[in-house]
Amino acid sequence: MIQINGLAKSYTNDSEKIEVLKDLSLTIEDHSYVSIVGPSGSGKSTLLHTIGGLEPIDRGEIWVNDQAVHKLKDKQLAKLRLKEIGYVFQQFQLLPTATALENVMMPLLNVFSSKEIKEKAKVALERVGLEHRINHLPSRLSGGEQQRVAIARAIVTNPSIILADEPTGNLDSETGEKIIGLLEEIHANDDVIVVLITHDQAIAERTDQQISLLDGKVKVATLSEL
């Protein structure tokens, strides 16, 4: 479960303080499939990053699976991301000189033996349907394939939460549909929380819960909250 209470986050830009998230509170239940929507600059990505501890917060509380993210040290945050969270980015964020297999192996380096890592990475790539492309560099893969590699990298550690920041933003609609389908399949099979940011209302409507942000605040929450 993800529990956020009174979250505030601001940036300073040319000495001007911009409040991105303002006293934001919400709850995401276990095994839920959630979308975050809102206009550009509403704080969607910042919210996603703060959940995984990628960005420090100004105030408030963030609880992930009963762990107080806002209090964790760097090493504990890294452990949280390794064990509990898998990130998927709009720009894929793959290492350009590493193959698909090596990119997926990355989170597990120094955690298991190299043989085990390789096996786990191969399984993850098979799950996303890229078993035939494991030795290809990102530059030799299509956008959809690169995003699949990124998803494989996110699930290789068997996380309980997948945070996807506009995973279809750089893809055509057909490929985007496949990626969303893949995430939904993972959500269904692995019983994990999937939180995705999207601008596509159709995609948002397929999720169990929509969180709409406007000016750093939750505009519309679940139907029950409404």
Partner 1 sequence: MFSYLKVTFRERWKIFLTIGLILGCLGLAYIGTQTMTGQIAIEARGELEDDWRYQYDLLVLPQLDDEVEGLEDGWVAPQSSIASYGGISLEDWEKIKGIEGVEVAAPIALMGYFEFIGMNANASNATPGNWYETTKEVTAFDGMKTHTLTETSSISEYYDESMEDSILYQRHLEERGYPSNVAPGTSVRYPNEMLLVAIDPEAEDQLYNVSDSMISGSYLDESYSSEGATMPVVPVVALKEPEYVMEETVTVHEINVPDNLSEDDIVGGTTSYLRGLPKEEIAQLDISSLTSDLRFKNVNLEFDDEGFNEVEYDLINAPTEIIQFSPINYSLIENNDGDIPLLEAQEYPNASDFYTEINIPFYRYSEGVRQTHDFTVDIVGYYDSSEIRPKFAGSWQEEDPVDVYTPHHSMIIKNGLGEEIEPTPLLPLPVKASYYPGAPDMLTSLNALHHVYDEEPPLSSIRVVVDGVAERSESSQSKIEAVATEIKEQTGHHVDIMLGSSASRVHVNLAGTEVDEVGTVEEGWQQKGVNWSIENQVNQTNILLFIYLLAISVIFCYTIITHSLFNRSIDFAMQRAIGWTRGKIVRTLSIEVFIISTIPLLVIWITNNWLEAVSFIDYLYIWLITIAIISIGYVTGSYKALKLSPREGLEGEGAEWKMQRMVRIRGIMSYCLHQLLRRPLRFGLLTIVIAITTFMLLLSIVTQQILSDFLYLSFIGESINLKLAGYQTATLILSFILAVALTFLLLYLNLTERKKEFLIFSSIGWPMRRIQFYISLESFIVSVIGAGIGTIVASLFINIYTDSVIPSWLISLSILSPVALITLFTIVIIAGFKVKGVTKNHHAA
What's the CA gap between 191 and 213, in Å, rounded?
26
User: Rule CB under 8 A: which of 57-76 touch partner 1?
Assistant: 74-75
Q: How far is the CB of 81 from partner 1 (least distance, A)?
A: 4
Q: In the set 18, 68, 109, 202, which binds partner 1 (CB under 8 A)? A: 109
Question: Does residue 55 bind partner 1 (CB under 8 A)?
Answer: yes
Could you identify the residue written with the tokens 């997926």?
Answer: 104
Q: Which stretch binds partner 1 (CB under 8 A): 34-42, 53-61, 194-202, 210-218?
A: 53-61
Nearer to partner 1, 159 or 176 (CB): 159
**Residue 76 CA from chain centroid, whole number:** 18
Of positions 87, 151, 164, 195, contacts partner 1 by CB under 8 A:
87
**CB 193 to partner 1: min, Å:** 17
Q: Which of residues 134-173 bind partner 1 (CB under 8 A)?
A: 137, 139, 153-154, 157
